[in-house]
Amino acid sequence: MIYILDVQYNGNIDGLVACIGFKNWNDEKPSYAKTHFIENIEPYEAGSFYKRELPCLLEALKDLDNIECVVVDGYVWLGEVGHDGLGMHLYHALDKSIPIIGVAKTPFIGTPKECEIFRGKSLKPLFVTSVNIGLEEAKNAILSMHGEYRLPTLLKKVDSLCRGVS
């Protein structure tokens, strides 16, 4: 299964992590969907966002089997390869065994042009980074996802789910 994760926070108090799973990149609907309420999250720390988000992602994944790939809302690496983003911290926490794809909606300073993809008729790119899966393969996977707009259907779905909207 392929899983997509996203987290929504209530200030520095708690968070809601959403996880959806699907079998094929072009699936329109998830075959798995679950949320986890996380209490006592770490406060936001500039430059160390992963300290806040990583425990939430790990909680969502802890009881899952047969994880083929994980997609996170954000970056695997920041700027040029070598600066760990949330996805790389997740990759290390999962014993470097599962491919991670980061899909970000906003650019990070120094992100190479080769990370940009354009979906649908959008003139605004998504930024794809990856580890343990080639960048071109990761970009093609995100491009092949269901939906005619900039954001694939299942990325929109996980975003809504973590905000408490079904």
Non-local CB neighbours of 48 within 8 Å, separated by 6+ positions: none
CATH architecture under which domain 2-162 falls? 2-Layer Sandwich (3.30)
| Residue 5 clears pLDDT 70, i.e. is over it | yes
pLDDT digits over 106-133, tens only? Answer: 999 899 999 999 999 999 999 999 999 9
Average pLDDT value for the chain: 92
74 contacts 85 by C-beta, under 8 angstroms: yes
Instruction: Give the max Cα distance, the chain.
Output: 41
Average pLDDT of span 69-88: 90
Cα three-residue angle 85-62-6, rounded to 5 degrees: 45
pLDDT digits over 58-70, tens only? Answer: 999 999 999 999 9
